Each structure stands twice: as C-alpha cells, then as structure tokens.
Amino acid sequence: MKYGVEQERDWNALTDGAFRDIVRAEVEAHHPSELRYPPRRLRWAENRSWYLRMAAKGWIAPGWPREYGGMGLSPTKLLIFLEEMERWGIARFQDHGILMVGPILMRFGTEAQRRRYLPPILACEEIWCQGYSEPNAGSDLASLRTEARREGDQFVINGQKTWTTLAHDSSHMIVLARTDKTAKKQSGISFLLLDLKTAGITVRPIRDIAGHDEFCEVFFDNVRTPASNLVGELNQGWSVAKSQLGFERIHIGSPKLPEYGLQVLQSVARARGVQGDPLFRDRVAQLQLDVAHLGDIYGHFAAIVGRGEALGPEVSLLKIWATETFQRIADLIIETAGDCGGLAGKVQMGDGRIEVLAPFYKARPTSIYGGSNEIQRNILARQVLNLPG
C-alpha cells in the first residue's frame, strides 16, 4: 500500500547543511509572504494553498515514517525542518491529523483504518479536530459524559464537546466518549473516529475575548458512526488518548510562541526608543535567557521523542515554562507600549504598525489549554517529586 507521494530522495542521507538549504529555498520561494507571522490562528481558507503544495510535495508529514507516506526524517533532520518553518514565520494549520491521528492509527489502528484515513490526511483532503474537553470535563477530563452506545455495527453518540479548536474548519473529529457508565472514570472511555458530515452534529463557533472564533462547541444528537471507527480496544480509549498527550505538551512547549513574542517586544522597544535603557535591557535579557533555556530543554525532550522513546511526566515542565515565559514577554510588551497598550488591532507606533495586544491575547489561554498549568504542576508534584496526593 502506498500512502502518500513518493519522496524525492532519502533526506537523511544528506548533510544537515544541504538539507537545511533545500528546506529554506523551498519556503523562501513559495510561502506567501502575507501569511508570515500571523497574529492569530489562520483559517483553512487562508493557508490551504500553501499546505496543499506541501502535501503535493510529500512534505506534509515530516515526522511520519516513509512507509506511511511521511518524509521519514531523523530527529536531527526533523528539528532542522521545523526550525526552518519557524524561522520563516510559517503558521500551523489544523494539523491534528498529522500530529495526533496519524501517529495514533500507526500505533493503535487497524490496517483497514490506516488505509482509509492516512492517505486523505496526507493529501489534506480530510482535516481533523480533537473532541476531548466538555463543559464539565476540563481539567478533570476523565469525568467526560458524552456517551457512545453500541447499536448493531454502529456507535450512537450523544453529548457535547467544547473548546474544539477549528472544528468549523474540520471534516473529521477524534472523539473520547463514555462506552461503559458502570466502570470507573478512565476505564469506561473509548476512542472513536467521526465524520463531521454525519447527521445529528451541530458545530457552533465560540467568539473569544480577542474577537476571534478559533474554537467551537460541538453537539451530538444521536450521531451514528460505524463500529469499525473504534480505535484500540473498547473502553481503552483513555490509554490511546494519553499516549499522545506527551506530544501535545511538547508541541505547546516549543519556543516558537515566546520567540514570536520577543520579536514583537523588540519592535515595540524600537518604536518607543527604550532599547538602550539599562533596566529594560536587563529585563529583555532575562526573557531572552528564559527562551534560550526553554530551547535547550525543548531540545532535550525532542531528542527523547526522536529516539522513539516515551515521554515521562517530566515533560509537563516544558509546557509550564514555555507558556509562562510567553506570558511574561507579552506582559512586558504592553508595559513597554505605554499608552498604545490599550489599543486594538494594528497600532501605529513610530514608523510602523504593530499588533501590540496580539501576543498578550495569544498567551493567556496557553496556560489553560492542553491541560491547565495547574494540572501540569499536580502531575509534576505527584509523579515526579513523589509528594503525597
């Protein structure tokens, strides 16, 4: 079975420098410049053409093994690839299919599931979102109440998901649903694949305090999905989902957002003419070191992933440090912006226009989603420091 387009060559056989040059040349030549460093999450209509190009090139899944249609990059090459994307300010798309669904199906899926779902993920024909959180199951995710009842060769889903990022741009959803109400919390949950065109699904965008609508509520009213869309064993969905949480944490823990924050900070500082102020320089240097050291520890965890080893609970520290560093940078941006710190949108500062509040609004929810930082601290306290519960 061929899953994606043929790779042009064995990337891992190239020197690191040669590989970097190839990636850099590609993005500099073809990535639309108006999409660089977007201040908000882009919608699929905006970055679709770029990612379709990446898909056609076979570059959509750099971390997937070649046998499944990925670039099959070694950890070092993967890091170079991601560095070049970030260096050029290329925003993610709704890439749960690449980052979560693919790896989950490779590990827990059936051959039939892989054949059905991996090719359209690689072609960006099917876009996936993640249906985990519910109104009353946030930090306490395992208390989720959306249920899936088995009827013949189908599951019938009823309930509600919320904070589903870009559900309105997605064609499919991974759903955690309760399949055994008698079992204790984690043990009665199953992992299902769902086509969002199925009858009975309502997707409602939620406007956020920055005025964007990146996340949605999704309601299920007797929604039927084939029993063959169960991933892993019945009632074992928690372990399936949990296997990817480490990857989510390492993703949120990337230095990308803090680095973007530092760039905005520098623009604001230039416009305000404060770069020379010794106190300001000290504060910026502190934040630069915070980001540099984040990069160091991120590299440490990325290498673990690269070796194919499992991430331990320690990875929670990465999420905490990355998100709170980003928040400190965003705080200093609005402080430095002075009177411009209360203005919305692109603000005239000096000779340019800067979205002064964008990093601030972007930074706030990072300590909430993907398992709140309070939950991450609980994990570290209990599972790493072995403190009593």
Partner 1 sequence: MLRMLRDSAADFASLDAVRVRRLRGAARGFERSVWQEMARMGWLGVLIPEDHGGLGLKPGAAAIIAEQLGRALYPEPYSASAVAATLALLHGDNSALKQRMLPQLAEGNVIAALAWQDERGGLDIDQCAVKARVQGKALILDGSSRFVATPEADAFIVAARSAQDLELHWIARDAPGLACEAELRADGSASARLNFTAVVISADTRVASAATAREALQLAIDHAMLAASAELLGLMDCALAMTLDYLRTRVQFGKPIGGNQALQHRAVDMYIQKELTRATLGAAVAAMDNPDCAPQRRSAAASSAKARASQAALAICKEALQMHGAIGYTDEYDLGLYFNRALVLSAWLGNAGAHRSRYATLADAI
Q: Binder to partner 1 among 241, 357, 358, 379 (CB under 8 A)?
A: 357
Instruction: Pull the structure tokens for residue 346.
Output: 């692109």
Q: Binder to partner 1 among 1, 25, 285, 344 (CB under 8 A)?
A: 344
Question: Does 86 engage in binding with partner 1 (CB under 8 A)?
Answer: no
Binders of partner 1 in range 151-170 (CB under 8 A): 162-163
Binders of partner 1 in range 286-305 (CB under 8 A): none
CB burial readout 45-75, b (16+ within 10 A) else e: ebbeebbebbbeebbbbbbbebebbbbbbeb
Q: Nearest approach, Cβ of 323 to partner 1 (angstroms)?
A: 10
Establish whether 248 is a catalytic residue.
yes
Q: Are 39 and 260 in contact (CB under 8 A)?
A: no
Q: Nearest approach, Cβ of 271 to partner 1 (angstroms)?
A: 9
Question: Does 183 engage in binding with partner 1 (CB under 8 A)?
Answer: no
Question: Does 272 engage in binding with partner 1 (CB under 8 A)?
Answer: yes
Q: Residue 218, SS3?
A: strand
Instruction: Pull the structure tokens for residue 385.
Output: 């420091």
Q: Are 37 and 43 in contact (CB under 8 A)?
A: no
Instruction: Pull the structure tokens for residue 36.
Output: 């660089």
Q: Nearest approach, Cβ of 143 to partner 1 (angstroms)?
A: 7
Q: Residue 201, SS3?
A: strand
Q: How many residues bind partner 1 (CB under 8 A)?
A: 42
Question: Does 101 engage in binding with partner 1 (CB under 8 A)?
Answer: no
Strands 128-131 and 172-178: parallel
Q: Are 147 and 177 in contact (CB under 8 A)?
A: yes
Q: Residue 31: what residue type?
A: H
Question: Does 281 engage in binding with partner 1 (CB under 8 A)?
Answer: no
Q: Binder to partner 1 among 110, 136, 222, 275 (CB under 8 A)?
A: 136
**Contact positions vs partner 1 (CB under 8 A):** 133, 136, 138-140, 143, 162-163, 206-209, 211, 215, 272, 327, 331, 334-345, 347-348, 357, 360, 364-365, 367-369, 372-374, 377
Positions marked catalytic: 248
